Amino acid sequence: MGEFLMLWLRPVVLLMVAASLAGCGEEARRERPVTMVKTAVVHTQPRSTVIRLTGDVQARVSTELSFRVSGRVVERLVDVGAHVNAGDLLARLDPTEQRADLVGAQAALTAAEAQLRLATATYERQKTLMASGFTTRVAYDQAQEGLRAAEGSVDTAKAQLGIAKDALGYTELRASAAGIITARNIEVGQVAQSAQSAYTLAEDGARDAVFDVYEAIFLIPVGSDSIKLSLVSKPAITAVAKPREISPTVDPKTGSVRVKLSIENPPPEMTLGSVVVGEGFSQTLDKIVLPWSALTADQSGAAVWVVDPKTHTVSLKSVAIERYETDAIVVSRGLSIGDRVVVDGGKMLRPGQVVADAGGAA
């Protein structure tokens, strides 16, 4: 009888214990503390990246000026920074050798012309005698051949005289166009070789803004091809530039790519060598943007606190950050539109903690 009573009472006792435990659980749940935080609903907003680079102003056309003959420099008339006009004399070589060559060429021409006069007289005499029958055909042909040879000698002497005159003129280095001298590589007394760069001339006219950029910048979709330029020394001085040339190779030393922008109507203050800042914007795209305060971390990296809409508890969710900005982060992966995340007050949270929005949902 006692055993039967124990078997009958056991289920009743178990039911009472289960009810007691359930009541304790509900009471513990009701007593769990609620943390006040600020939350926001995830949504997209149009976003573009500001691209700022530093470069300098250079001439569109830069020419290396050099002597066309070798010689010792006896005069240097301009220095770096000087503005010159086309045809202005820049430097001069010692012309002694070229003058001697010119005198020799003139003498050779005089001798060739004397030989031509003699050959002409001989030919005319043989021609008259041939008509009268007082000379042979052989003598006539020899006189004619001598005349042709003398005429050829005169042409050769004239050509050599022209070369000698040009060589004498090459001892003077003149500007090929109007512009500014940006480099000088010769000194008085120095022996300059032909084709050796003596001056670098930045020609007047179009100006470029030149930048050395990192290669990854070309992966950013550009919103506009117009770039705003401003002087570093005077930011109020601005201009508009457009891409003109992009180097097809990467500089092996710096790992950068040279980009040249054509400056439209450059202001006078943007002189050669001026340091400028170029500012452009990437293409506008819809992105998930959160304030810095929403960012935390878990074992795998960057994360945010996500609020369960039913239980109001929080959990960590890993995210991928596309870009860090001054006061925000751009999330590329890990969140969905409509998720509610903690944007302020998440430093002391732990998984499963119940939260309430202190300022209303954003």
3-state secondary structure 287-317: EEEEEHHHCEEECCEEEEEEECCCCCEEEEE
Residue in the structure block whose two tokens are 């091809």 = 225
Q: How far apart are CA 176 and CA 202, in angstroms?
A: 11
Q: What's the longest Cα–Cα distance across the chain?
A: 179
Residue of 296, 303, 287 whose CA lies nearest to 337: 287
Residues 6+ apart with CB under 8 A from 324: 330
Q: How far apart are CA 318 and CA 345, in angstroms?
A: 18
Q: Tell me which long-range contacts 152-155 makes (C-beta under 8 A, separation of at least 24).
A: 153/112, 153/115, 153/116, 154/109, 154/112, 154/113, 154/115, 154/116
Start and end residues for every CATH 1.10.287 domain found in the chain: 92-174
Q: CA 83 → CA 78, 210, 305, distances in Å?
A: 9, 22, 65
CA dihedral for 145, 159, 195, 72, sign (positive or negative): positive
Q: How far apart are CA 214 and CA 228, in angstroms?
A: 19
**Neighbouring C-beta atoms of residue 185, cutoff 10 Å:** 14
Q: How far apart are CA 207 and CA 265, in angstroms?
A: 9
Report the residue count for the chain.
Answer: 362
Residue 280 CA to chain centroid, in angstroms?
A: 14
Residue in the structure block whose two tokens are 């949504």 = 43
Residue of 44, 54, 164, 24 whose CA lies nearest to 100: 164
Q: According to CATH, what is the number of the domain 35-47+286-357?
A: 2.40.420.20
Residue 10's pLDDT is 53
- The per-residue pLDDT string of the chain (362 residues; one tens digit each, 9 = 90 and over) reads 445 444 444 544 444 544 444 444 444 445 567 888 999 999 998 887 788 899 999 999 999 999 999 999 999 999 999 999 999 999 999 999 999 999 999 999 999 999 999 999 999 999 999 888 888 899 999 999 999 999 999 999 999 999 999 999 999 999 999 999 999 999 999 999 999 999 999 999 899 999 999 888 887 777 778 899 999 999 999 999 999 999 999 988 888 999 999 999 999 999 998 999 999 887 788 899 999 999 998 888 999 999 999 999 999 999 999 888 888 899 999 999 999 999 998 888 889 999 988 765 43
Residues 6+ apart with CB under 8 A from 7: none
Correct CATH for 92-174 of 2.60.40, 1.10.287, 3.40.50, 3.30.310: 1.10.287
Start and end residues for every CATH 2.40.30 domain found in the chain: 204-278
Q: How far apart are CA 349 and CA 296, in angstroms?
A: 10
Q: pLDDT tens digits for 229-242? A: 999 999 999 999 99
Residue of 245, 208, 246, 204 whose CA lies nearest to 229: 208
- Cα atoms in the 13 Å half-sphere on the side-chain side of 342: 31
Give helix 96-132 / helix 137-169 axis angle, nearest 10°: 160
Start and end residues for every CATH 2.40.420.20 domain found in the chain: 35-47+286-357
Q: CA 190 → CA 91, 173, 185, 261, distances in Å?
A: 12, 15, 10, 38
| pTM of structure | 0.63
Report the topology of domain 204-278.
Elongation Factor Tu (Ef-tu); domain 3 (2.40.30)
Residue of 70, 98, 89, 97 whose CA lies nearest to 173: 89
Q: CA 69 → CA 102, 332, 345, distances in Å?
A: 14, 65, 80
